[in-house]
Amino acid sequence: MHNLPPLSLYIHIPWCVQKCPYCDFNSHALKGEVPHEEYVRHLLADLDADLPLAAGREVGTIFIGGGTPSLLSSEAMQMLMDGVRARLPLSPTAEITMEANPGTVEADRFSGYQRAGINRISIGVQSFSQQKLTRLGRIHGPEEAKRAAKLAQGLGLRSFNLDLMHGLPDQSLAEALDDLRQAIELDPPHLSWYQLTIEPNTLFASRPPVLPDDDALWDIFEQGHQLLTAAGYEQYETSAYAKPGYRCEHNLNYWRFGDYLGIGCGAHGKLTQADGRIIRTAKTRHPRGFMNGNYLDRQHEVAETEKPFEFFMNRFRLLEAAPREEFARFTGLSEEAIRPQLDEALAKGYLTETAQSWQVTEKGKLFLNSLLELFLAE
């Protein structure tokens, strides 16, 4: 039996009240009502079709993303979670995260979601400036964001996360740091603090706003990083900070090249089989097609030559050292296959190596793309 990596489950809820101008996720502005129970029935049918790929393995983490999963009624969430538990062995200590918008209605449903089994909520705050929120097309205000965070705090969940962006249109250093201070004041165990990037096929791509220049972005990152560190947060991934013991287990599993089932519109999966093959799945993106019962868009086996790049593309995003034995264990390849690339990375000062692990250096972090390119298939 191949030594299989841990297994997670990702569930995609595709609807939003309105589409944000920076968003390139598979989300669709809601026209009319959310088809709560009908969509859940399709999600569970999609999961049924994927079960053979998971071969009865235990699921350690679940992440419900979107779109805006908190548009789903708490009854539908209960039906979804009951359906998942009936189909998959779930670890008794499973981390179960749901993304939520700070909008008033959804915050009131939090306790219903908790009863369904959600034990971690990720709140999409983005900014505490009303002007910036309007510019980002967000429909909540700063006070709603604070209320949602306090609600999450009061529920006694396992953890909660605040999503915050920096490098916003016309944002000054003082404004960016003020956002961060307000987030830290709410005392979330986890903070995702990431830079706004303009993605193709978004409204911002067709009408680009003026963003801070590279020097300003560096100042924001450097001073923001100091603020977070002083407040007791540890950076463990490019844009993720957590208090000790509160890292997001689900995201860690992605970055450690773990396996995951992906169900729902546009969801992606990666599943290692007993014979060592790695299967990637992608689901139908549009709700219309998905809810006609056409779940699978495409499925392919990862070629042996692509495995090194896929492994390191994830692993080297984490700031922790990468155990050398996991390369062979999770790809089925010997380290000898990538020895020339490793030697080049070491010679260029991108990596250090011990008998147990590889560690990306400060230089390697700055030139991460150049480091990863060494492992691209010819």
- The correct CATH number of 7-253 out of 1.20.1560.10, 3.20.20.70, 3.40.225.10, 3.90.1150.10 is 3.20.20.70
How far apart CA 93 and CA 116 sit, in angstroms, is 15
DSSP state of 61: E
Please report the pLDDT score of residue 1 as a whole number.
43
Q: How far apart are the first and last CA of the chain?
A: 30
Divide the 378 residues of the chain into consecutive groups of 10 and give the mean pLDDT of each group: 86 93 90 92 98 97 95 95 98 97 75 95 97 94 94 94 97 98 98 95 93 96 98 96 98 98 98 96 97 98 97 95 96 96 98 98 94 93
Retrieve residue 226's tokens.
């100091």
DSSP state of 25: S
How far apart CA 372 and CA 21 sit, in angstroms, is 30
DSSP state of 136: T
Where, residue-wise, is CATH 3.20.20.70 in the chain? 7-253
How far apart CA 263 and CA 269 sit, in angstroms, is 8
| DSSP element (H, E) containing 65 | strand 59-66
Residue the block writes with tokens 């067709």: 206
pTM of the model: 0.96
Q: In terms of Cα–Cα distance, which of 143, 175, 178, 148 is closest to 162? A: 148
pLDDT tens by residue, 4-52: 999 999 999 999 988 899 998 899 988 888 899 999 999 999 999 999 9
Please report the pLDDT score of residue 83 as a whole number.
98
For residues 148 and 107, the answer to whether their CB atoms sit within 8 Å is yes
For residues 66 and 100, the answer to whether their CB atoms sit within 8 Å is no
